[in-house]
Amino acid sequence: DVKVTQSSRYLVKRTGEKVFLECVQDMDHENMFWYRQDPGLGLRLIYFSYDVKMKEKGDIPEGYSVSREKKERFSLILESASTNQTSMYLCASRPTQGIWTQHFGDGTRLSIL
Amino acid sequence: SQQGEEDPQALSIQEGENATMNCSYKTSINNLQWYRQNSGRGLVHLILIRSNEREKHSGRLRVTLDTSKKSSSLLITASRAADTASYFCAHPRETSYDKVIFGPGTSLSVIP
């Protein structure tokens, strides 16, 4: 069965810290995504990766960067965490060919104090 | 913004009743997907309908698509308390089919 695993369900960090959110998929999917989800705003795309070391900015990339050194792993980095980055972060993956549907991890609820 | 809308934003029904959620979108699409999200969890894909399909069924789910009106609906029949969740429609972006746009979602509460 398809599995996308996010390293932490809950995370609390302080303003100014560098924060790493990790996501691993076991399906050999080329495409991976990072979203943030906020009440009333739905899911917003932060970054998208279509292959190892390849990335594209999404709708709200400011304050974030990503790393994809291996096909199965996609990391989201908050360079200097701020309180307005408190949110639910969701990772997803899908193959390039065939089915369009995305497979999601369970999310990381990040609080920046 | 390419994001469409879903209505209602919230829906509360009794167990056994049917639940209907609607989704509107703004661009041309080749497919539309519905996802479900239980509280505090990730999204789970429910059903995909292609632009050349008008209706699709999966168990107690029925999805319709009207491309002339740029709208879709998700019907859950004989609802159960376990159907309590948020439901999102999503479609590929017109400018980049690799990425999708998610609607704001409908929060469904099914009361036992």
CB-CB: which of A41, A101, A109 is closest to B45? Answer: A101
Mutate to test the interface with B, among A33, A59, A102 (most CBs of B within 10 A): A102
Query: Does any CB of chain B come closer than 8 Å to the CB of residue A38?
Result: no
pLDDT at B8 over 60: yes
Q: What is the dihedral of CA A33, A28, B47, B105, to 10 degrees?
A: -20
The per-residue pLDDT for B1 is: 55
Phi, psi of A98 (to 5 degrees): 80, -125
Alpha carbon distance A93, A14 (integer Å): 29
The per-residue pLDDT for B106 is: 94
Q: Is residue A46 part of a domain?
A: yes
Q: Is A73 exposed, middle or buried (0-12, 13-18, 19+ CB in 10 A)?
A: middle
Q: Is residue A60 part of a domain?
A: yes
Which residue, among A26, A14, A50, A38, has the nearest Cα to A107 in the 3D structure? A38
- Of the pLDDT bands very low, low, confident and very high (cuts 50, 70, 90), residue B80 is very high
Q: Is residue A8 part of a domain?
A: yes
Alpha carbon distance A49, A66 (integer Å): 9
Query: Does any CB of chain A come closer than 8 Å to the CB of residue B33?
Result: yes
Alpha carbon distance A53, A17 (integer Å): 24
Alpha carbon distance A86, A56 (integer Å): 22
Which residues have CB under 8 Å from B59's CB, separation 6+? none
% of chain B surpassing 90 pLDDT = 76
Q: For the domain B5-111, what is the CATH code?
A: 2.60.40.10
To which residue do tokens 């695993």 refer? A5
Range of the domain at A28: 4-97
Q: Is residue A107 part of a domain?
A: no
CB-CB: which of B43, B104, B105 is closest to A104? Answer: B43
pLDDT at B83 over 60: yes
What CATH number does residue A43 fall under?
2.60.40.10
Alpha carbon distance B60, B84 (integer Å): 14
Higher pLDDT pick, B13 / A1: B13
Q: Based on the structure, what is the number of domains in chain A?
A: 1
The per-residue pLDDT for A96 is: 80
The per-residue pLDDT for B98 is: 73
The per-residue pLDDT for B24 is: 93
Q: Is residue A108 part of a domain?
A: no
Delimit the domains of chain B by residue range. Answer: 5-111
A79 strand-pairing partners: none
Mutate to test the interface with A, among B6, B99, B107 (most CBs of A within 10 A): B99
The per-residue pLDDT for B100 is: 87
The per-residue pLDDT for A101 is: 86
Q: Is residue A35 part of a domain?
A: yes
Q: Is residue A22 part of a domain?
A: yes
Q: Which residues of chain A are modeled with pLDDT < 70?
A: 98-99
Q: Is residue A92 part of a domain?
A: yes
Encode pLDDT of B20-29 as tens digits.
999 999 988 8
What does the block give as tokens for A32? Answer: 């991976």
